Chains A and B, each alone.
Chain A
Amino acid sequence: MEKVLEVKDLAVSFKTFFGEVEAVRKISFDVGKKETVAIVGESGCGKSVTANSIMQLLPMPPAFYKGGQILFNGEDIVTKTEKEMQKIRGNKISMVFQDPMTSLNPTMRIGKQIVEGLIKHQHLSREEAQKKAIEMLELVAVPQPEKRAKQFPHEFSGGMRQRVMIALAMVSNPQLLIADEPTTALDVTVQAQILELMKALQDKLDMSIILITHDLGIVADMSDKVIVMYAGQILEQGLTDEIFKNPKHPYTRKLLASVPRLDMDRNESLHSIEGTPPDLYIPPKGCSFYDRCDKAMKICKDNMPEAENFSKTHYSCCWLNHPMAKDVAEGREA
């Protein structure tokens, strides 16, 4: 498959008063054309930092790239200047944020906000842009687009605002859409509408999607490939079916077992993951999940596990994958 985005050994840190926070620690993945890649993980695991560093939206300082490359169509984004970046951002790569209430300008009419982007990015005349803006609202199924374009964000409901956000992201036919928790602020029936809309637009425009979410149901529904992040690292990566049917990392397994499912037996108990993620001021030397893992071994504490491949597309970083670890796979041995 043709690769749109390749992230290689990306490391991003923040300099703070208390020291350096290693938010993203050497992650690698790629996104193919028309592919949807989901990044899952708890808050603070680095998923949003990853997304924002692809867009170069992190405030620098305090943030800085510590190493690695982000290749978009083969070109490294990390080394681009702000001016070069402006041609890519919102043009070839677009982003939809979690909260549609705060990401629109409350003092500007909806139509004008879209027109602005069109004039800036596509150098259309105002008249052409106005026509195109209405087409965009139609594309994302906002009813009565002519009337709606003249309204302000507060006159829109949450779901409608998120449609506008998607319309804004779509104006330039981006190759890559980064959706950071696009439906978290929405109700489930509206969420269903937005997810369907994103799928339809992806088909129509041949675009790739990076979907950041903590909802495993949405992942199962939308994604081709899943990346499981924890404490700034990728613990497991694979095709959606591989991750859900054959999870290899104890964290992935626990994550899947900790959410109640509509189709599960009520008498089954929920498996909670005790404890909290590690402090990234002093990232652990060994496996970052060591403290919370009930299968942890001595080696896990001080030695970072290598990635073990199970198929061309599926790998996980865990010492249990080591051929010698088979007999201790059950029960804690530390």
Chain B
Amino acid sequence: MVQPIISARNIKKHFDVSGGILKAVDGISFDIYPGETLGLVGESGCGKSTAGRTIIRLYEPTEGELYFNGKNIYELPRHEMQEVRRDFQMIFQDPYASLNPRMTVEEIVAEPLDIHKVYRNQKEKHEKVIELLELVGLNEEHANRFPHEFSGGQRQRVGIARALALNPKFIVCDEPISALDVSIQAQVVNLLEDLQKRLGLTYLFIAHDLSMVRYISDRVGVMYLGHMMELAKSEELYDNPIHPYTKALLSSIPIPDPEIQRSRKRIMLEGDVPSPINPKECCRFVERCPYAVGRCHETTPEFREITEGHSVACHRADEIVAGTAKPTK
């Protein structure tokens, strides 16, 4: 069997804020296998970006273990961590804020090479930068320009070139396309897929656009208030969602087809996502869940495998699968 490249075990990231403890990520576990794309979706404030950053140790975790090629990277001392960091990279959401406006594209892309002292002479480094720019569909001409001379889509390409500079194995893509126009989004997504095939990359793809995540991911995890609610193969999750939250989330995405859209029935959720500060120790979705019963208010449901490769954190998952669950609201 293939060994996972990343194994996250019970990862927690809490922040001390005035008014209590903000539990941004509260015990999530999953595996990512080499060459696959794991999608992470959820509404704003669900902890998906914090999860992405904690996994590559940009944030120090509050608790948990993260195995990368069998090594727990959370226990590594600083200098060893720096070695491992080469294998992890990140592509950020905002291509305007993530590039230093006072550096040329060449300096931006070469920065990781400088930090890790990969090349001894300027010429070799310059050649590597040009190679990277060509890899993402830019060319030598662009190397001496500044970020403001580029459109959003091109800037995101620069960000991708920088992420690829150290030949990483694993890339966290944190909403890489949500700041881009529809027609440009497809360009960037196609580029990411193409690079994955050519370079054998593994992605954690974080987004709130569920249709795009379904398109790009092999497996998809759904988060809500710091907890993983459901995780399954992409087709399985979208065809047979089990968790009431996933169901509602999927039904609220409008499909660009007027005929289908007219005949669809929306599951309307009431209210908003509650505050993640000092959450009650029970099912996080209980207040908005149409299926909530007594025990949902008392204990946190275990995240368990219901059918092969399909895990859900819901007390009533078995009833829902069997079709015997009745809504309580």
Q: Please report A residues at the B interface, Cβ cutoff 8 Å.
A: 42-43, 157-160, 187-193, 195-196, 214-221, 240-241, 244-245, 254-256, 258-264, 266, 269-274, 276
Those of B206-263 within 8 Å (CB) of chain A: 208, 210-212, 214-215, 234-235, 238, 248-261
A47 to B189 Cα, complex, angstroms? 26
**How far apart are A203's CB and chain B's nearest CB, in angstroms?**
15
Q: In the docked arrangement, what's the CA distance between A212 and B221, Å?
A: 32
Give Cα A76–Cα B186 distance, bound, in whole angstroms: 41
Contact (Cβ within 8 A) B181 A191:
no
Is A276 in contact with B252, judged by CB distance below 8 angstroms?
Answer: no
Judging by beta carbons under 8 Å apart, are B254 and A261 in contact?
no
Interface residues on B, range: 35 or more
Chain B 175-193 per-residue mask, 1 if CB under 8 angstroms from chain A, else 0: 0000001111111011000
Q: Is the CB of A191 within 8 A of B252?
A: yes
Main secondary structure of the interface of B (DSSP, over half): helix
- Which one, A244, A258, A262, A269, contacts B210 given CB within 8 A? A262
B250 near A272: Cβ-Cβ < 8 Å: no
Contact A196–B268 (Cβ < 8 Å): yes
Closest CB of chain A to B175's CB: distance in Å?
A: 13
Residues of A within 8 A of B257 (CB): 220, 244, 261, 263
17 contacts between A and B (CB under 8 A): A42-B181, A42-B182, A187-B44, A188-B249, A193-B268, A217-B255, A217-B261, A220-B254, A220-B260, A241-B259, A254-B183, A258-B186, A262-B255, A270-B186, A271-B186, A272-B190, A276-B151
The 6 closest A-B pairs by CB, nearest first: A217-B254, A272-B186, A192-B252, A260-B215, A216-B256, A187-B43
Q: Are A187 and B256 interface neighbours, CB within 8 A? A: no
List residues of B whose CB falls within 8 A of some A CB: 43-44, 151, 153, 181-187, 189-190, 208, 210-212, 214-215, 234-235, 238, 248-261, 266, 268-269, 272-273
Extra pairs beyond A42-B184, A217-B211, A241-B258 (12, CB < 8 Å): A42-B181, A188-B253, A189-B248, A192-B266, A193-B269, A218-B254, A219-B256, A220-B258, A254-B183, A258-B186, A263-B260, A272-B183
Across the interface, name the chain B residue whose C-beta is closest to A185.
Answer: B44
The reply to whether B182 and A214 contact each other, CB–CB distance below 8 Å, is yes
